[in-house]
Amino acid sequence: MALAGVALGACGDDPFQVIESVEFDPSLGIVLDSMEMLEGGVYIQDDTIGMGDTIVPTSEVRVSYVGYISDGSSFGVGEFGFILGEGEAIPGFEIGILGMNQGGIRRIIIPPELGYGDEERTGIPAGSVLIFDVTVLDVFAPDDPT
């Protein structure tokens, strides 16, 4: 499943989940108090700090991921590459991986406004909080010609 950019238009009356109010399935093992909150309400928690290059704005990256919604259902598993800042991934995903190093593993929790918003996707109801377990496979610096 590609994490294509999302156009966040008017959300109408669709209820958006609020991360701090969501009852996460226990199988996810989410404890918000132990996570760091970033801009826009994105939460992160590092499992492994990578030893390779660091992701910076405009880095080209390749990641593997498993995506979940709050009830513990997985909506996708995959691998993809993109350039930060080009709109090739949802905004919350870009915020969540910034600063990771190659080889790093991080859990990212994304509010609907920085995910798919009021757009329904296969396995993802409109207004859903998204949870990603991400591993950074490759980081190419902006000036790296490879």
Domain contains 81: yes
The domain in which residue 71 lies consists of 36-140
Report if residue 14 sits inside a domain. no
pLDDT at 6: 35
For the chain, what is the mean pLDDT?
89
Determine the pLDDT at residue 41: 96
Please give the helix or strand (H or E) that residue 32 lies within, else none: none
Residue with tokens 């490879």: 146
Distance CA 140, CA 36 (A): 26
Confirm whether 17 is domain-assigned: no
- Answer yes or no: is 72 within a domain: yes
pLDDT of 146 over the 60 cut:
no
Is 4 inside a domain boundary? Answer: no
Q: Which residues contact 90 (CB under 8 A, 6 or more apart)?
A: 3, 4, 5, 6, 110, 114, 115, 116, 130
Q: Report if residue 123 sits inside a domain.
A: yes
Report residue 141's pLDDT band, with 50, 70 and 90 as the boundaries.
confident
Name the domain count of the chain.
1
What is the reported pLDDT for 80? Answer: 95
Of the candidates 37, 43, 115, 41, the residue with the CA atom closest to the CA atom of residue 75: 115
Counting residues of the chain whose pLDDT is more than 70, the rounded percentage is 88
CATH of the domain at 93: 3.10.50.40
> Once rounded to an integer, what is the mean pLDDT over residues 82-101?
96
Work out the number of other CB atoms within 10 angstroms of the CB of residue 97: 24
User: What global pTM score does this model have?
Assistant: 0.87
Query: Which whole number is the average pLDDT over 106-118?
Result: 96
pLDDT digits (tens, 9 = 90+) for 2-37: 444 333 333 445 479 999 999 999 999 999 999 999
